[in-house]
Structure 1
Amino acid sequence: MSLSITLAALWAVAATTVALLPMQRQYLPGGALLLIAPGLIVFLGVQHGWIAATAGLLGLASMFRTPLRYYGSIWRARVLTKEPK
């Protein structure tokens, strides 16, 4: 197994473990995992191509769908409420 696949599998195990924690204890490790994910997906894509990177991106979106939806709504609210000059 390549290094990128091994790291992606360990990331998935770590994300699943964090999901089992009480909500108050999920913020710091979950944020760290969310920050590490883009670099890991790029590394996966460099070693195995765009199909593997897309699979990693879909896995990330699946595991972090609630925080991504929340930050997406904040971003959309900022973009849509911006007044024209």
Structure 2
Amino acid sequence: MTLSLALACLWAILGGLLAMLPSRDNHWRLAYALIATGLPLLVYVVWQNGPLVGLVVALGAASVLRWPLRHGWRWLRGRTLRWKARHD
């Protein structure tokens, strides 16, 4: 196992452990920290292991960060629908 995959596994375990902690802000600060550390780690995984392994790791990261992704998707969809309504 390469160093990047070992770090990605530790990142996923840390994300699961952080999700178990009580939080007043619904874990948003922790999610931002996981995103900030996960993106460079994903680039490292792709660089060291190739794009197919990087895709698998990205899907695993998406399962850990499913709520921020869901909120981001809704925000982006709302912005594009408003933009489309203004320009039609």
TM-score, normalised relative to structure 1: 0.88
Q: Deviations over 1:28-79 (max 9, x none)?
A: 2221001221211111011001111001110011111121111110111011
The aligned counterpart of 1:8 is 8
The answer (yes or no) to whether the contact 1:18–1:30 under 8 Å persists in 2 is no
CA RMSD of aligned residues (A): 1.6
The answer (yes or no) to whether the contact 2:42–2:58 under 8 Å persists in 1 is yes
Taking every aligned residue pair, what percent have the same amino acid on both sides? 33
TM-score, normalised relative to structure 2: 0.85
The answer (yes or no) to whether the contact 1:4–1:40 under 8 Å persists in 2 is yes
Q: After the TM superposition, which parts of structure 1 deviate over 6 Å for at least 4 consecutive aligned residues?
A: none
Structure 1 residues without counterparts, runs of 5 or longer:
none
The answer (yes or no) to whether the contact 2:31–2:68 under 8 Å persists in 1 is no
The answer (yes or no) to whether the contact 2:4–2:45 under 8 Å persists in 1 is yes
The number of aligned residues is 85
